[in-house]
Amino acid sequence: MALLLFAGAFNTNAQSLEEFEEKVTEFTLDNGLKFIVIERPIAPVASFVTYVDVGGADEPVGHTGIAHIFEHMAFKGTHYIGTNNWKKEKKALDQLDQTYQQWLSEKYSASPDSAKMEELWSQFTDLQEEAGQYVVNNEFSQIIERNGGTGLNAGTGADQTVYFYSLPENRMELWFSLESDRFKNPVFREFYKEKEVVREERRMRTESQPLGRLVEEFLAVAYTAHPYGRPVVGWNSDITATTMEDAREFYDTYYVPSNITIAIAGDVNPKEVRKMAETYFGGLKAGPEPPPVYTQEPEQRGERRFTIQGQSQPFLLMGYHTVAQDHPDAKALQLLGSIISSGRTSRLYKRMVEEEQLALAVQAFNGFPGTKYKSMFLTFAVPNRGLSVDTLETVIHEEIQKVKDGDITQMELDRARTNARASLVRSLDSNSGLAQSFASTEAQQGDWRKVFTDLDKLNEVTLEDLQRVANTYFTQDNLTVGAIVTQDSEEVADANQ
């Protein structure tokens, strides 16, 4: 009840939005870098979010994972932080990359010379050790921690790369100094060591995790052309093939001011923010607009299906190709996901988890693996012991057919809208949540106000819209199904036939 009452403070009528706009100041520097400042003087702290409009979908062919690799580089410091002698370190790094490129060229030549490769790798190892003697480990993060910083982190997705942390309000200039320096003067310190960290992330999250393998295979099967089908963490061979020179070219292409949005929320003075922004970020050179993703996923010609056999918990993924976030049908699909599976009153949860006890978990939502381009409506389910994924798939199809037949009530639609409003309130109940939400919406949709006005569009969705989008997108020819199947679950499936 308290949450719903609080939601009233964020009512999306014009007056409420105007009241909120009074707390927001936005400006763009001459080089194209956009700032959004949200005054929230609840406590003397501020959260800072740097949103870069580049993710896995933007990566060049042969270099999947490079967006994630560069994200790691941004924590390695600057020409002055993280090193005891940048001049000597840079010389060693340049030689290091040249040697690695020579080794790579030999490795992938038509007739690789193993002796030459061994010699080059020995030189590479020596140079990496030489460069390492100039490194001051973790100095960048330690400076932030010593000054009361919290939540220092970053994330790379299919659509974006985001950097964020919070500091006491009186340390705001420190953030401007550190953030501007690491993006004006990026270093590729410990680049090849950090690539192995990324490779280890891939082993842990994908190769060693059944669900990770399933998701990676699912995307590769569901997408034949669009880069959404590639893993954000990168293919192993692409991680190997990526050099410091490649990362520098990626930075020069996508980390231009016009492709960056910065949001600051907390006890801050907008005039001071603007003055510091011009002082510290004004020197960031403008660049050409990054190349857009032109590739369109062709219409699917028929159902796609695969299974992965293994000794693990069975999983089921079902996905239908749908639309990007700016499409008129996106809001109806969002509400449909909520009605079908969000919360204990949703259709799939109530039937599959509570009543018939078929599943340990079930969830459906639109916008996988991203929202910037045409994405997918995904349903994920985990069967109970002794039950097959086939049983879950049958029930999910039955519930989807009910939606297609128009079996959704006005009460369900209203509840889904209420849940969406409550979810918005929760996401904005912190400086960090405000800054991340505003930055991402501004960068991807061109106006942070859509955080609020998009709720009005939910109110325009009708029961007829829900039925229409279900019949439009939830077709057999548009379906991809992937599952992890254990030997036990296969035997159960055979016994049930």
Q: What is the pLDDT of residues 343-394, one digit of tens each?
A: 788 899 999 999 999 999 999 999 999 999 999 999 999 999 989 999 999 9
Residue 315 has pLDDT above 70, yes or no: yes
Dihedral sign for Cα atoms in the order 258, 263, 268, 270: positive
Q: Within this chain, do residues 278 and 354 fall inside the same structural domain, yes or no?
A: no
Helix (H) or strand (E) holding 304: strand 304-309
Inter-residue contact 342 to 348 (CB < 8 Å): no
- Give the pLDDT confidence score for residue 495 in this predicted structure: 44
Alpha carbons within 13 A on the beta-carbon side of 75: 18
- Give the number of domains in the chain: 2
Residue 262 lies in a domain: yes
Q: Within 10 Å of residue 124's Cβ, how many Cβ atoms?
A: 20
Dist. CA 121–CA 400, nearest whole Å:
56
Residue 494 has pLDDT above 70, yes or no: no
Residue 163 lies in a domain: yes
Residue 116 lies in a domain: no
Q: Within this chain, do residues 208 and 157 fall inside the same structural domain, yes or no?
A: yes
The pair of structure tokens assigned to 351 is 């039937």
Is the preceding omega at residue 227 within 30 degrees of 0, hence cis?
no
Q: Within this chain, do residues 329 and 277 fall inside the same structural domain, yes or no?
A: no
Q: Within this chain, do residues 479 and 364 fall inside the same structural domain, yes or no?
A: yes
Residue 266 lies in a domain: yes
Q: Within this chain, do residues 333 and 216 fall inside the same structural domain, yes or no?
A: no
β-strands 34-39, 24-28 pairing: antiparallel
Dihedral angle of Cα 74, 76, 81, 82, to the nearest 10 degrees? 180
In the listed set 282, 314, 333, which residue is the last one of a domain according to the structure?
Answer: 282
Q: Within this chain, do residues 313 and 204 fall inside the same structural domain, yes or no?
A: no
- Give the pLDDT confidence score for residue 17 in this predicted structure: 66
- Give the pLDDT confidence score for residue 343 in this predicted structure: 75
The contacts of residue 460 (CB under 8 Å, 6+ apart) are: 331
Q: At what angle do helices 450-460 and 431-445 cross, to 10 degrees?
A: 70
Residue 106 lies in a domain: no
- The mean pLDDT value for 96-123 works out to 96
For residue 259, which of 177, 145, 183, 324 has the smallest C-alpha distance?
A: 183
- Give the pLDDT confidence score for residue 249 in this predicted structure: 97
Residue 419 has pLDDT above 70, yes or no: yes
- DSSP one-letter code for 63: -
Residue 8 lies in a domain: no
- Give the pLDDT confidence score for residue 21 in this predicted structure: 83
Residue 108 lies in a domain: no
What strand order describes the sheet that includes 34-39? Answer: 24-28, 34-39, 260-266, 45-52, 161-168, 150-156
- Give the pLDDT confidence score for residue 16 in this predicted structure: 56
Alpha carbons within 13 A on the beta-carbon side of 473: 26
Residue 496 has pLDDT above 50, yes or no: no
Lowest-pLDDT choice from 15-19, 92-96, 381-385, 391-395 = 15-19
- Give the pLDDT confidence score for residue 427 in this predicted structure: 82
Dihedral sign for Cα atoms in the order 57, 63, 69, 70: negative
Q: Tokens 């128009």 identify what position?
A: 406
Lowest-pLDDT choice from 4-8, 184-188, 473-477 = 4-8
| pLDDT band (50, 70, 90) for residue 487 | low
Its pTM stands at: 0.91
β-strands 304-309, 260-266 pairing: unpaired
Dihedral angle of Cα 59, 64, 68, 73, to the nearest 10 degrees? -90
Q: What is the pLDDT of residues 441-464, one digit of tens each?
A: 999 999 999 998 888 889 999 999
Which residues are registered as beta bridge partners of 35? 27, 262
Q: Within this chain, do residues 326 and 419 fall inside the same structural domain, yes or no?
A: yes
Q: Within this chain, do residues 271 and 323 fall inside the same structural domain, yes or no?
A: no
Residue 95 lies in a domain: no
Q: Within this chain, do residues 371 and 260 fall inside the same structural domain, yes or no?
A: no
CATH assignment of the domain containing 418: 3.30.830.10
Q: What is the pLDDT of residues 200-259, one digit of tens each?
A: 999 999 999 999 999 999 999 999 999 999 999 999 999 999 999 999 999 999 999 999
- DSSP one-letter code for 245: H
Inter-residue contact 268 to 39 (CB < 8 Å): yes
Q: Within this chain, do residues 277 and 309 fall inside the same structural domain, yes or no?
A: no
Q: Within this chain, do residues 275 and 319 fall inside the same structural domain, yes or no?
A: no
- Give the pLDDT confidence score for residue 312 in this predicted structure: 84
Domain range enclosing 268:
22-83+135-282
Inter-residue contact 383 to 391 (CB < 8 Å): yes
For residue 367, which of 380, 378, 352, 354 has the smallest C-alpha distance?
A: 378
Mean pLDDT of all residues belonging to the chain: 92
Q: Within 10 Å of residue 36's Cβ, how many Cβ atoms?
A: 24
SS3 label, residue 40:
coil
Inter-residue contact 89 to 83 (CB < 8 Å): yes
Dist. CA 124–CA 103, nearest whole Å:
9
Dist. CA 284–CA 255, nearest whole Å:
10
Q: Within this chain, do residues 330 and 474 fall inside the same structural domain, yes or no?
A: yes
